[in-house]
Structure 1
Amino acid sequence: MVKHNIEIEDLIGQSSICTDCSNTSQLIEGKTIFVTGGAGSIGSEIVLQIGKYNPKKVVVIDQSETAIHNLSLIIEKEYNSLNFYPVVGDIRSKKTLKHLFKKFKPDIVYHCAAYKHVPIMENNPSEAVLVNIMGTKILADLSVKYKTERFVLISTDKAVNPSSVMGATKRIAEMYLQFLYNSSNKKDRTKFITTRFGNVLGSNGSVFFLFKKQIEEGGPITITHPDITRYFITIPEASQLVIEASSMGTNNETYIFNMGKAIKIIDFAKKMIHLSGFIPEKDIEIKLIGLRLGEKLFEELLNSKSTTSSTSHKKIMLVKENNDKFDYAEKEIDEIIEAAKEYKSNKIVKKIKKLVPEYKSLNSYY
């Protein structure tokens, strides 16, 4: 039924292209790089982008065998001289990760692996904790132990004033890195860098593919609320900005990306319908279905205690947060992880809310 093929760039514009990549080249060349979740949308693009800068080794860790296989085929075609090591593994396994750190001794870790779908994680808080918190903790601890130069966390705008289990677990992952940096020895300590951005357009499960499929089927397009807005960024641009931000970090910084104005999802849907050659509500119905579990009407990139300052890149901003060292965090995080191992959902959420008081559940049983 679709009359025209829609490209993501038609909806939010062309991704920025690195014109002066000297910092990136100095960061990557001759280094051993780990990318967790490296066969996913952002992870695989980071792998492809850093492959241009002559890394010593690139180790991709992902639990999806098929996705790793598909990425391996692309690497063989485009970078046949790249020292590429595909690893099927789970970041919840300390034994697996310790083996990999001991064997490869990474210089830089790009930590992309996470559970990200808000309504699904609202129903599975144990899994959200074990992957987003415990997995991050294991990786960060091993990075310190094996003197990894830089650890880059891919976070989300949903970690700011979280309204969902997913957002709260990502916020705790950010907090743990702050705690670990402040509690480690200054000499040769790992630089922790957090990058925080909005919805990645074109990633697995993104609204672009949902709406495209619904248009192909003749509608309706389903929208949760007429006023809901989101920030959007493309996969190539997000990945490029993550790599560039990782070259800036010197201590324990959080960076956010300038993604322009938040877009009304209903306007986004109407634009997709028009670009497909149809008329909204006449050819394709738009149906309101109500907010999903844990979902906000709008996302935020900063909380009330944070400010930003500019960097050398016009699209990357440094976040200045409060100076809380989170000295108390480790014990409470361990308790949250233990509750997750027991699959006690209410206990998990109660403990998370104690650690993250700004976490207020929305459209949720919690």
Structure 2
Amino acid sequence: MKQVLRKGLKDIVVEEVPDPSLQPHHVLIRPAYSLISSGTETASLHQEGVVAELRHNPSHLQKIAGAVRSAGPARTFSEVKAKFGEYAVLGYSGAGVVAQVHPTVTDIEPGQLVAFGGEGSGHSETVLAGRNLVVPVPEGVPLDQAPFATLGSIAMHAVRIANVGLGETVAVIGLGIVGQLVAQLARLQGATVIGIDLRPERMELARRLGADACLTPETAGELRTMTRGRGADCVIVAAAAKSSAPCLQALDLCADRGRLVIVGAVPVEFPWHEMYLKEIQLFMSRAYGPGSYDEEYEKKGKDYPISYVRWTENRNMAEFLRLVGAGRVVVGPLVTHQFNIDDAAEGYKTIMAPGSRSLAVILRYPTADALPAAAAFVPRKRVDVRTPR
């Protein structure tokens, strides 16, 4: 099968690798589409080189220095050098047709259309996914929109953590994919939503999708005028940044005894005095919801009792797709580009390009044109490697 991999620090390649083997509490899926997470996935790509990365993240130097002290310079150099040639799996959001089901999974059938997620599921022609990270695609949801289930559940969990109430003002900093979805979901909760972003086209898109107002970081102070001097009841940081600027702005915009929710990949640094004076509540939103990073849940198929844990990863994914099918959350306009899997590197270049207006980038697979045949798929356990002469 073909799989998209990161080679070294910045190169995207598509390689032939063996199909995964079916495991207990898992299913094999032939994806038709997958979604590149422009924040999480590109964070591991260092296009500017090692020196620039160390400049942006000096803590890496401390790690290297610690490794030199504990393992010695020769071994440390060898391990750092190996990083330049290692491969890493990218991707965790997709949709396709179920090809094989392990006997321990009793409520999913071959031939069923599903969305899937999970670390390591990857952009590949065959995916092994845990049962609790797979949800059926409801009627009315186009298959090329179903890959949003994963990022949608991330946004949904952030809104749940925020405990948004009717009539509250919610500021969303960062209008990327997750920020756009957070804005729509917060509005469904009855909030007045104000989006904040640097890019005019993302602000305009958020307005079209229901945000009450949008501001730039420079004009974000107008939020106080809009709220009669109070500020936002809740600020959700959905930006990806290497500085603490989004968090500091969130604190400035937050009302007295307001709530800050961090869902984006940003350094979390706040001045104690200002946090204390405002008595700010700070929340971290972790992945898709309860079950995230729990091996018993994600890999061994052990669900949490619904009476005790109402909204798990799986239930968040299913609910998000229900909202899409009902037309209450709109994801179609978020898609700006689509590439075949063979051209995956171009997809990542499009996202990383400084002047790019990209947002959601979809990868398309041959299965999209042959869904019935995909259910009869037989995994290949070996890949023929030819030695160049």
TM-score by length of 1: 0.37
Relative to its length, the structure with more strand (as a share) is 2
TM-score by length of 2: 0.35
